[in-house]
Amino acid sequence: MSSSITVLRGHRRDPAWVPACGLTSSTRDTRVIESARRINGGTMLKVDILEASEIERAAAVFHRDGFVCVANPLDEEQFALIRSGAERVMAEQEAEFGRDKMNRGFARHSFGSQLRNWEWCILIDLPTILPIIDAIWGSDDYTCTGAGGDYSLPGAKIQHLHSDRNADLFNDPLGRVTHHDVPAPFIVINFTMVDFTVENGAIRFIPGTQRSRAPIPSLEDEPEWMRTNHLCAPANTAVIRDVRCWHGGTANNSSMKRPMTSVGYHAPWHRAVEEKSLPREHYDRLSARGQRLCRHIVMPA
């Protein structure tokens, strides 16, 4: 794709851009649509929220846009468990840091590594998600890097666009190949714990930027359409994303917390020094597939 940010919005590879009046017909929750309608002047990404069974289509959308949304990755019991864990940890972190000293700016915080809490471990080997990752990479020999997520509280401001993978993996002495030129080296799956709306600070994405060598504009230099590309989705939606794709938080103008949990995987061809963050007692509870995924991050016995 072109390296110029001025062509991203109309690029044939990107989803359509539509007024903030609702999601596509595949959306399952009208509360998100109604919340978006109340916001004047905003825009939303028009995205299809796919079923977990649409494996090949999900992989194709991911390769095109740098992310794909999947409906209901967690069953009711799993969703209740991870949401309760997120609520507990948010309360603990807010009590410890206060809104002024959070690690992503005022009222915005990263959960950090959370595999010490079993609630996050259930995200590692979901049968609704792993077949899609298998299809994206054409292999099941990838590895889990950890689990965490982030959240914003009421009063959080818009966050600058960024990529989660800025350091070049290759250091090509000829300068011909960079980490922008290869398939996704690192995939993170975010799980929406509440309905994500324009009002409560839904994450924003710039589709197709996972391979772009263009410099990411500062918040001051962003065109308005980039600032308002809210990805609105119902609670219990998985956002499978190439971490290179440009994204950022938006202002939380609601009275509610906006949490999303996450799990990450490195590509079969990519290895890094991983933190031994998974307690042995949690590792022993995982499926055989989950244990294989976590072989590099399990703590010594």
Q: What pLDDT digit, counting tens, does each position of 169-228 carry?
A: 788 999 899 989 999 999 999 999 999 999 999 999 999 999 999 999 999 999 999 999
The pLDDT confidence band at residue 45, using thresholds 50, 70 and 90, is confident
Does residue 175 belong to any structural domain of this protein?
Answer: no
Q: What is the value of pTM for the model shown?
A: 0.87
Does residue 24 belong to any structural domain of this protein?
Answer: yes
Give the residue from 126, 170, 175 showing the smallest Cα distance to 269: 170
Does residue 257 belong to any structural domain of this protein?
Answer: yes
- Domain with residue 201: its CATH number is 2.60.120.620
* pLDDT for residue 43: 63
Residue 23 has pLDDT above 60, yes or no: no
* pLDDT for residue 175: 87
DSSP state of 215: P
Residue 62 has pLDDT above 90, yes or no: yes
Q: What is the percent of the chain where pLDDT is above 70?
A: 86
Taking CA atoms, 104 is separated from 24, 97, 151, 181, 258, in Å, by: 31, 12, 9, 29, 14
Does residue 6 belong to any structural domain of this protein?
Answer: no
Q: How would you classify the pairing of strands 143-152 and 67-71?
A: unpaired
Residue 26 has pLDDT above 60, yes or no: no
* pLDDT for residue 96: 95
Does residue 45 belong to any structural domain of this protein?
Answer: yes
24 versus 43: the higher-pLDDT residue is 43
* The Cα angle at residue 299 between residues 294 and 301, in degrees rounded to 5: 115
CB 223 within 8 A of CB 185: no
Question: Over the chain, what is the mean pLDDT?
Answer: 87
* pLDDT for residue 9: 33
229 versus 33: the higher-pLDDT residue is 229
Q: Residue 111's domain spans which residues?
A: 17-167+181-293
Tokens 């609105």 label which residue?
A: 232
Residue 281 has pLDDT above 80, yes or no: yes
Q: What is the percent of the chain where pLDDT is above 90?
A: 78
Does residue 32 belong to any structural domain of this protein?
Answer: yes
Domain count, the chain: 1
Report the C-alpha gap between 29 and 12 in whole angstroms.
Answer: 28
* pLDDT for residue 57: 98
Does residue 174 belong to any structural domain of this protein?
Answer: no
Does residue 228 belong to any structural domain of this protein?
Answer: yes
77 versus 301: the higher-pLDDT residue is 77
3-state secondary structure of 93: helix
CB 290 within 8 A of CB 130: no
Mean pLDDT for 66-74 is: 98
The pLDDT confidence band at residue 253, using thresholds 50, 70 and 90, is very high
Mean pLDDT for 2-6 is: 30
